[in-house]
Structure 1
Amino acid sequence: MAEQTIHFDDGAAYEQMMGIWSRFAGEIFLDWLAPPQGLRWIDIGCGNGAFTELLVERCSPLEVQGIDPSEEQLAFARTRPAARVAKFHQGNAMALPFADGSFDAAVMALVLVFVPDPAKGVSEMVRVVAPGGLVVTYMWDMLGGGFPLDPIYDEIKAMGVAATRPPRMDASRIEALRGLWIGAGLEDVQTREITVHRTFASFDDFWTTNLKSPAIRPAVAAMKAGDVEMLISRVRAGLPADADGRITYSARAHAIRGRRPK
């Protein structure tokens, strides 16, 4: 049976659905990394450029190269202010189109579980950084309840409805990340958890925003109307609103850093 994949083909929709979450987590991630200014970065799986924008804003990079398989996402990325510094290219995380040692730092932001062979993806990150360079990622805790879409996914699963999930969710575990980084020969390997919170103006805001997910949208579209209403009711019950009708909840990511040996 062919492996199901999730295609992100709408940069504006991704920005509303996940880009905001990525920025919240990315801020804390960069605070933790505290990288020097003026580095040469590669942002692998840059998508619509949400994290790339943070790199340009906060790290004064000498160079940023963004790589992603989705030309639609890249088109959105090229409209960002970051495009004055960053260059965006269509490409494969497991076969990066750059020479060995081209960068000072390689990052994947919320990407590793989508890479068919995570170990190969990490080895490519190591290959393209210079000796002493940073190799880093943060990824939602997909198996521990940290994914921002879990309030919907959990109820879909409870109702017995199938919905596509990323193919390598195990790679989001702290232990799995540490194994990948140590297995790739990286040194000074450190990990941490990142917890972030997001507030939606109302349940309707939460629902319409998250229905932009290219995995959840087709699953809901295939449901009968009555089942969709039941799903909405179940999700609403798990996300109580405040006195003003706002919905606030948290998501959790796992982060890891290491250096290529000199």
Structure 2
Amino acid sequence: MSEQKIRFDDGAAYEQMMGIWSGLAGKTFLDWLAPPKALRWIDVGCGNGAFTELLVENCAPSEVQGIDPSEGQLAYARTRPGARLAEFRLGDAMALPFPADRFDAAIMALVLVFVPEPAKAVAEMLRVVRPGGIVAAYMWDMPGGGFPLEPLLIEMRAMEITAPRPPQREASRMEAMLDLWNGAGLENVETREITVHRTFADFDDWWMTGMKSPSLGPTIAALSPQDHAALKSRVRARLPAASDGRITYAARANAIKGSRS
């Protein structure tokens, strides 16, 4: 597969393709963190605010700062009624625009594999939290087949169709995440798997949602009509439907948390 950069610029398309998945996994993630109320949070790589809104609604924070490199995503985030408490600004995960000890918790939701140097991002999250503060993340287990669009990826590989992939895909492995958190000097490091299920009205609903992926959608749109039809048929056969046509599919993420000494 190509190492071409994947850009997330369409907040509305991201919401349909991944925002719902993010919310499903994010709720379990926050339940696992079980943070106290009134914390100051930074959501690193907040995207269109799907997880930020969940954070505001479930954790009663005193402050939330959302950082992302895409103004298109941030524009969508600012429209979320449930995220009104949050402030959103352009920023780089590897050079956060805040002083040291600024927050009580730093979170990265479904972002780690898209950061060119994940260790720098973890070091920056550690830098901006106070002593005793939380540094945590969750990411689809891409090498382990946990990505929500894995059925599509399997059939694309079988047909030798290449598409851009995240630059640090291996960073989503649990062992790699542990290395990052332990290497940064975080304490009380814990991990868990998060498995969530999403139901689609039918195969066409699943397919059209997948086509909103900024990496896979354009690649598939550029296929010949014959290859497009063949790919769609192969994926349909891989996804069993219920008697009413609905498709329920599972995705799996790896989660990690630690505290600053």
TM-score using structure 2 length? 0.98
The alignment partner of 2:223 has SS state of: coil
Residue 153 of structure 1 corresponds to which residue in structure 2? 153
Q: Post-superposition shift, 1:82?
A: 3.3
Q: Name stretches of at least 5 consecutive residues in structure 1 with no aligned partner.
A: none
Between stretches 191-200 and 78-87, larger displacement belongs to 78-87
Residue 257 of structure 2 corresponds to which residue in structure 1? 257
Q: Report whether the alignment pairs 1:230 with 2:230.
A: yes
Residue 76 of structure 1 corresponds to which residue in structure 2? 76
Q: Post-superposition shift, 1:37?
A: 0.5
Residue 120 of structure 2 corresponds to which residue in structure 1? 120
Q: CA RMSD in A?
A: 0.9
The alignment partner of 1:245 has SS state of: coil
Q: Distance in 2 between matches of 1:182 and 1:72?
A: 34
Q: Post-superposition shift, 1:149?
A: 1.0
Deviation per residue, 1:133-163 (Å, 9 max, x gap): 0000000000001000111111111100111
Q: Post-superposition shift, 1:232?
A: 0.4
Q: Post-superposition shift, 1:92?
A: 0.4
Write out aligned runs for 1:32-71 (5 A): 32-71=32-71
Write out aligned runs for 1:83-98 (5 A): 83-98=83-98
Between stretches 78-87 and 93-102, larger displacement belongs to 78-87
Q: Distance in 1 between matches of 2:160 and 2:170?
A: 22
| Percentage of matched positions with identical amino acids | 69
Between stretches 219-228 and 118-127, larger displacement belongs to 219-228
- Which amino acid letter does the alignment assign opposite residue 93 of structure 1? A
- Which amino acid letter does the alignment assign opposite residue 150 of structure 1? E
Residue 213 of structure 1 corresponds to which residue in structure 2? 213
TM-score using structure 1 length? 0.98
Residue 105 of structure 1 corresponds to which residue in structure 2? 105
Q: Post-superposition shift, 1:219?
A: 1.0
- Which amino acid letter does the alignment assign opposite residue 59 of structure 2? C
Q: Name stretches of at least 5 consecutive residues in structure 2 with no aligned partner.
A: none
Paired residues, what number? 260
Residue 10 of structure 2 corresponds to which residue in structure 1? 10
Q: Distance in 1 between matches of 2:257 and 2:90?
A: 25
Does the 8 A contact of 2:3 with 2:164 survive in 1? no
